[in-house]
A = this chain, B = another copy of it.
Amino acid sequence: MTGWMVMAALAAGGGTAAVGAPKADTAPAKDVRSPTEIVAAAPAGDWVTIAAEDMLVMDLAPDARGRARRVVIQLMPPPFSQGWVGNIRTLAAAHWWDGLSINRVQDNYVVQWGDAQGDDEVKAKPLPSALAALPLARYEAPREPGELSIDPNGFGDYTPSKPFLSIEIEESPYIFAGFYAGWPIGRTGSDQEMWPIHCYGMVGVGRGMPPDTGSGAELYAVIGHAPRHLDRNLAIVGRVIAGIEHLSSLPRGTGALGFYADPAERVPIVSVRLASELPPAQRPRHQYLSTESESFARYADARANRREPFFVQPAGGADICNMPVPVRPAP
């Protein structure tokens, strides 16, 4: 119960140094390298290759100077959001997004794409009939002990063998946060539920009012400070792992909620495909740093305690969204 102990120590003593740091009795000597240096030195075995069928490739129309704009999204693995992820696979296979557009860019919040006529029963593009209807139930996934071995004793521990890692990087008012199988995850203190977290670059499913949960046809990507109030209120289905700048640098919409007021401002989507549908030579190839690796534990610790000479005062902790999981082109 290291996590709780660390919090109790803070509540009792108010110290600034101990919280957020790994346990002294299990951690190796402090790593004075920068996060970038630690990632660059990670052994090949610490990297996980992302399967082609788990990447969505969105090609936007070229920019005003004629440059290509490709956005690559890694889809969320089980046990999270798989109903919507399945629909997204169906929509991509149907080439449903081809010819649609990015319709909303709200500063410090989200970019959203899909059918600009989505609310118009006559003009809206028909959806594939094979989409699953997803009732309002749980945006969380239940903890299944045989499947997700979350070990509270792992909190604060460098031991890289656990699938759920947290080094007490965030003490959110309502949850613990950590990493599971390469993703930032929140969970309740009682360990009964867990859910993906809205960090920069995360991709989620737009929807109307509850009990609507969205089909997956309307998607958004986070382009600002983590909107954590969306956690458990919308389905996170992936994250942008390449080309986020083609979304984050778009002109902001001037209509309500950042929708483009003038249809001419919309950014055309040429195509959206699963990478596995592309000819092999055209497939993106990416790897992420295993969040169960010792390299990741050291990286996370270095993000929380910047020891490079530039820093006067290491923070001693970091928000989970300020520890983006490293992604690189596959060598």
Contact = CB atoms under 8 A, between A and B. Distances in A.
Interface string A202-215: 00000001100000
A123 interface: no
A14 interface: yes
Given A174-B20, A229-B318, A210 B11 contact: no
| Dominant secondary structure of chain A at its interface with chain B | loop
Contact of A309 (B171, B209, B317): B209
Interface in A97-114: 105, 107-108
A168 B174 CA distance: 11
Contact of A7 (B11, B15, B310): B11
A174 B228 contact: no
A188 interface: yes
Contacts of A64: 64
A312 B232 contact: yes
A227 interface: yes
A319 B16 contact: no
Interface in A275-299: none
21 contacts: A4-B11, A4-B14, A14-B189, A16-B189, A19-B173, A20-B174, A107-B248, A108-B200, A108-B201, A108-B248, A139-B313, A171-B172, A173-B316, A224-B224, A225-B225, A225-B226, A228-B318, A228-B322, A233-B311, A233-B312, A245-B252
Given A170-B173, A173-B318, 14 more contacts: A4-B14, A11-B11, A16-B174, A64-B64, A107-B249, A108-B244, A108-B248, A139-B313, A174-B315, A225-B226, A228-B315, A228-B318, A229-B314, A319-B319
